[in-house]
Amino acid sequence: MSEPRIYKVKRFGYREEWRKDADTAMIDNFPWGHTMKDDYRPETKVYAAFDDESLFVYMETDEINVRFETKGIGKVHTDSCMEFFLMPAPESSLKYLNWEFNPAGGMHLGIGTCRHDRTLGADENYRDLFQVKTNISDKGWNLEYRVPLSWLKRFFPSMDFKPGRIMRGNFYKCGDETLRPHYGCWSPIDLVKPDFHCPDYFGNLVLEG
């Protein structure tokens, strides 16, 4: 296995255009495209930042033929979907969270150590909790949300947002039942069949103050 990919999560600068200061993570690996009739690869970018209270995430894609059947909590991976899998405290817990959103703000969120032991991590108030915002245009769609540290501490009591912390995770773009099904990831995955629940292939997310 190659060295893990690294994304530097910079401290939030309290600017309206904070993404100008954030590094860009490109979802540019489509390991299973060659097995599909249509090797569709939507250009998808991720920006993340943090402060003492929250982790901020912004994702955008040029996917235009979007599908969003799920309006609340549900199986959004069958829709046009952007996902973030995060292992916040790998030094003390192998549990990771998976946030999955569609263009309507429909969401799935789970927590566990693998695909088979997951429990739901949020209820119907998730839009307020994570301050979820989505937008669809003729150029694609985007997604923005925040993860409060106080909420993370429910699952990871020793968790903090301090510069130097190394979290693990991956960013994904998929759409199982869209007009052009696709499976993309930021950190490369070397598996025969599509599977995003593979923490061995997570990259490193380094908090940088």
pLDDT digits (tens, 9 = 90+) for 77-135: 999 999 999 999 999 999 999 999 999 999 999 999 999 999 987 888 999 999 999 99
Q: Please give the structure tokens belonging to residue 65.
A: 């033929």
Amino acid in the structure at residue 153: K
Give the separation between CA 81 and CA 129, rounded to whole angstroms: 20
pLDDT digits (tens, 9 = 90+) for 143-193: 999 999 999 999 999 999 999 999 999 999 999 999 999 999 999 999 999
- Say if residues 53 and 149 touch (Cβ distance below 8 Å): yes
In a domain, 1, yes or no: no
Tally of domains in the chain: 1
In a domain, 172, yes or no: yes
Instruction: Find the CATH number of the domain harbouring 202.
Output: 2.60.40.1190
Strand partners of residue 53: none
Give the separation between CA 69 and CA 51, rounded to whole angstroms: 34
**pTM of the entire predicted model:** 0.96
Q: Please give the structure tokens belonging to residue 194.
A: 């599509």
In a domain, 13, yes or no: yes
Using the CB atoms, write b or e for 196-205: b if 16+ within 10 Å. Answer: bebbebbbbb
- Say if residues 129 and 175 touch (Cβ distance below 8 Å): no
The confidence score (pLDDT) of residue 16 equals 67
Using the CB atoms, write b or e for 92-104: b if 16+ within 10 Å. Answer: eeebbbbbbbbbb
Residue of higher predicted confidence among 202 and 123: 202
Q: Please give the structure tokens belonging to residue 156.
A: 């990871």
What number is the average pLDDT over the span 34-55? 93
In a domain, 101, yes or no: yes
Judged by average pLDDT, the poorest of 7-16, 33-42, 53-62 is 7-16
In a domain, 26, yes or no: yes
In a domain, 10, yes or no: yes
What number is the average pLDDT over the span 20-30? 95
The confidence score (pLDDT) of residue 3 equals 84
Three-state DSSP class for 149? helix
Strand ranges for 88-176 from DSSP E: 96-101, 107-112, 119-120, 133-137, 140-148, 166-174
Domain range for 68 is: 6-208
In a domain, 89, yes or no: yes
The confidence score (pLDDT) of residue 14 equals 67
Q: How many CB atoms lie within 10 A of CB 132?
A: 17
Give the separation between CA 182 and CA 147, rounded to whole angstroms: 27
